[in-house]
Chain A
Amino acid sequence: MQTLRRTPLYERHAALGARLVPFAGWEMPVQYTSIVAEHRAVRTSAGVFDVSHMGQLQLAGEGARDYLQSRLSNDLDRIGAGEAQYTLLTNDRGGIVDDLIAYRRGDDDYLLIVNASNVEHDHAALDEMDDVSADWALLAVQGPQALDRLGIDVAPFTFREDDVLGVRCLVAGTGYTGERGCELGCSPDDAAGLWDAILEQGIVPCGLGARDTLRLEVCYPLHGNDISPERTPIEAGLGWACALEKEFTGVDVLRREKEVGPEEKLVAFVMEEKAIPRQGMRIAEGGEVTSGSLSPMLDRGIGLGYVRGELADAGTDLTIDVRGRPRTAKVVKKPIYKREEA
C-alpha cells in the first residue's frame, strides 16, 4: 500500500477536526463542518481551500512558447505576460490527458497548474518541463467577499507576484467555483502562516467536498469523471479551448469531429423528481452520468453526463436509473447555477 502524501497544512486540517480522506494519493480534507454549509459560505461570503496537492510544471527559455504551443490545445498567443488561460493537454486520438491553467510569465516562460492525479502523465507528455510541484503550496480563496477580505484585487485570468497578508505569493485571478476570488501560490514554508492569516479574516475553511459541488453547479468538468483520455474536447463542450487552426497533438481528429459533429455530448441536467444522480448511473435514453450530487443552492439533484447528440438540447427529458428506480431529469443550459444579477 502506498503511503498518502500530506500537504504543509495537514496539521491545520487535523486541528480543525476535518474529515480527511484519500484523494489522488494525498490525505485531503473533504469537509470541516458540513459540505452544504461550506458550499454556501463560498456562494455568499468567502471560503478557503487547500489545493496544495495540485501539480506545477514549468518551462523557461528559448523555444518554450513553441514547445507548449504545439502540445496544448488553446492558443498561447491569446495571452500576454501576466495572463493565464484554460487549456487542454490532448493525446493523438484527441482525448483529454488533462485540463489545466497555463500562466504566461514572459514570452518564453510558463507555469502550468495541473490536476494532482495527472502530474506524472502530464510530465511524461511534456518531458521538457520541470516538475516543481514540491516547491509550491496553493490556497484557493473564493467567494463574493474573498478579495475584499484579503485586501487585494486581481482581474480574472491575470496574475502577479504580490504580498498578501504579509506573505509573498503568486496571486492569480483563477479558481474552480464560479465565484470571484483568487488562487495564492506560496512557498510550503509560508503556507501555515498564510492559512492562519486568511482564517483570521473570517474566511471559512472548505474541503474538497464543497469544491466538487461548487464546480458541478457551474459545470466545470472534473478530469477522471467528466473528461478523460477517452473523451475529446468536442464531446465535452470544450471546443472553445481548442485553437483548431493551429497544430497540436490530436488536432486532426478534433477537426474531423467538429465537422461531422460528435456522436455524444456532455450535458448538464437537473432532476425533476427528488433523487440524487451519481457517477456511473445509466441514462435510459442512452448514456451515462459522469458527475452527480445534490445542488446546495437549488436543493435539487444535478449532474453531468454524456448522451447522444440529438438528446443534448436544453429541455430534453432524460430518465436516470437511480439504483433500479427510474427518475426523470431535464437537460439544462450550462451553467446549472448562475447568480441572480442584482
Chain B
Amino acid sequence: MRRIRRVSLVDIILLAIRVVVAIGVVIGTYATLSAGKLTWEQWRDLLIFGVAQGSVYALIALGYTLVYGVLLMINFAHGDVFMFGGMTAFFVADALGSSGFLDANPIVGMAIVLVVAMVSSAAVAILLERIAYRPLRRAPRLVPLITAIGASLFISNSVRGLYGEQVKAYPQLKILVGKFEIFGVGILKTHVVVIVSALVIMAALYWFVEKTRTGRAMRAISEDKDTAALMGINVDRTISITFAVGGMLAGAAGVLYAIVFNQVHWFMGFLPGIKAFTAAVLGGIGNIIGAMLGGLTLGVLESIGPNLLLSGLGVPSPNQLRDVVAFSVLVLVLIFRPYGILGRPENR
C-alpha cells in the first residue's frame, strides 16, 4: 500500500540527494576509468581484498540478521562479541605460535584457535542476551537498543581493562605467506583461506537453519513468537541458541579478521560492527543469504569505491575516506532502500 503524499521539502531534499549521488558516481567512475589511473591487476587485487574483507563482514552480518530475525532488535553490541572472540583466541594463538605448534600442525592449530574464539564469543553472546536483553523483551523498541549501546561500551572497555590497551599482533603462519596461483592469477594465501573458511561456515549455517530441528524452531520464532510458543517451542532456549550461533560466527570472523589484518585490539569491534550492520541491512535484514551478499558487496564497495569514485572526482588521498564510503552506503541504503537488496518493502 503506497500512501499518497503531497510533495514536501523532505521529498525535494531526498530527490536532490539521489541526483547528486548519481551524478557523482557517474562522473567519478568515468573520470577514473578514462584517465586509466590504476592497472587491471591493481583493480583485481583491490577486488580480491574487498571480497576477503567482505566475507568477514558477512560472517558478522549473519549475527545481526539472525538476532534481528528472532527478536526484531539491532544487537548493537555484536561488534564487541566479534572483538572478544578475536582477542581471547589471540592468547591461544600466541601460545601455540611461540611453542612452534602452529607452524608444525597449521591446520590443527588454526582449528583450535578458531574453536576457542567461537566458544568465547558464543559465551559472551549468551550472557549478553540473558543479562541485558531478556528482561526487556516486552519493552518499547528503543529501550533494548539503548541497553545494547551500553553493553557494547561495557564489553569493549572490560576487554580493555582485562587484556590491556595495546594492539596485539597475531602470529603469522609460515604456510600462509605468499600467493596461490589460481587460473594464472596470484592471490594472497591469507585471502584464499579467509574466503574459503567463510564460505564453509556460511554453508554450515545455511544447513543448520534450513535443515535442523533447532533451525526450524528459529524460523518459527521469527515468524511469530507467541504462536511458536504455543506449538511447544521453547522460546527462551531457542533465542539463547540464536545468540550462541551468532556469537560463534562472530568469533570465527574475529580470527579471520586477525588473519587478514594481523592484529587485534580492544576497540576493533566498533567499525566492523557498524559495517557488518550496514551489510545486513544492505542485503535485507533478517535474510541470511542477503547478509552474505550484503557483506561481500560492502567489502568490495569499500575497497574499490574510494579509488573508483573519489579519485576520479579529484579528491586527494581517497583511501583516507574508505570509512566515509562505508558510512555513506549505510546512510543511503537506510534512507532509500531500508528493506535491502533481497527484502520487500514492509507493509506498514
- Tell me if chain B binds chain A: no
**B residues adjacent to A (C-beta < 8 A):** none
